[in-house]
Structure 1
Amino acid sequence: MQSLNELIEMAVGNGSRNEFCRRAGISAGNFSRILKGQKASPEILRKIAAASATVSYSQLMQAAGYVEDQAGAQAEIQAIPVYGSIAAGSPIEAEENFSGYIRLEYAQKHFGADCFALKVVGDSMDLANMPDGSTVIVKRQSEVRDGEIGAVMIAGQATVKRIYHQGEHLVLAPVSKSALYGPQVYSGEDEVRILGKVVLALVDII
């Protein structure tokens, strides 16, 4: 089992710790003390998990010693549908976009029944541990908080970006080392719909 520090570093990813703390709503000083061994409260762990696309609350709680290790328990396997690239005008559930299932152990992370997976195309999210060809697990919800990573449908095409709200506008920001990508701003008149929040990123599984 990974240590709490390893999971926290995984949650931060390749971005800065200060930016992660701002997104999570915790102080940089408190964050530093936790990495040095101070006991993290369940509420702090919840905030870290909420700001992360790769680490779950249950993983953090287990590593911190609040819950028992379930590794020896019989794991339930949950099938999550995987959709490929989304054709213009087609809904996410369209049969022609379905490409199979992935199965994940319940004991490792519980996603709930209302989740789906998407393949990442391109490198606009590589600094968020979502390189080209990786797979993201998305929990269906119509809203996400500022700074969270979500899947968004734009004129029939699905994309994964960090989401911010600016008045009546929706800003989709890349998290990439490439200067080719910049924020995209959409108004209420644009054909934009939030599909859900990214709860996990997986590399080289499909």
Structure 2
Amino acid sequence: MHTIYGMIDSGNCYKPRLLMAKLGESFRHVEVSSRDGATRTAAYLAKNPNGMVPLLELADGRRLAESNAILLYLGEGTRFLPTDRYIRGLVYQWLFFEQYSHEPYIAVRKALLTFPERARDATPERLALTLERGNKALRVMDSYLAENAFFAGDACSVADIALFAYTHTAEKGGFDLSAYPAVSAWLRRVEADPGHVPIEWLP
């Protein structure tokens, strides 16, 4: 059985849990939080020297870090990772977009506003920057989704799971999702995909 080390309230850690739930596969969850120092202990650093979560540990003891790399591994050979070369390229495109243009602003702004330990970092300048660039990412998504049901082909893929993780809670970061009707409709489509579970779900 796979083991996923992660935080229950982290979007990045939600991604592999959500995919495993949609696949109907069993796994073990081990709560490891960056907020209480658990990711910086010698024991955890021996597993992931980068001191980050999530971390996937396979049944044979091999480990894989980085949320989107974990999604690609778990999605291989399933309906969530297309075999068509171009459609798979779209998956990679949106996974890179999520980590470079989406998560650093939408996820970070939510953390700045909701995690007490991040309050000192919530300067007016940083809040303004994350709002501006987060809205830019949402506009890009809304434009694409106005003409496409999902981000890679006509069905839910790991690209949708990656972008769903922080988009569905974006309003907690001060983003107005009502301004993005195509994004809002897409969120409902992802939620309607079989096996969906909320971020708080554990096996």
Higher helix content, 1 or 2: 2
Q: Which has the higher contact order (CA 8 A, sep 6+)?
A: 2
When normalised by structure 2's length, the TM-score is: 0.28
How high is the TM-score relative to the length of structure 1? Answer: 0.28
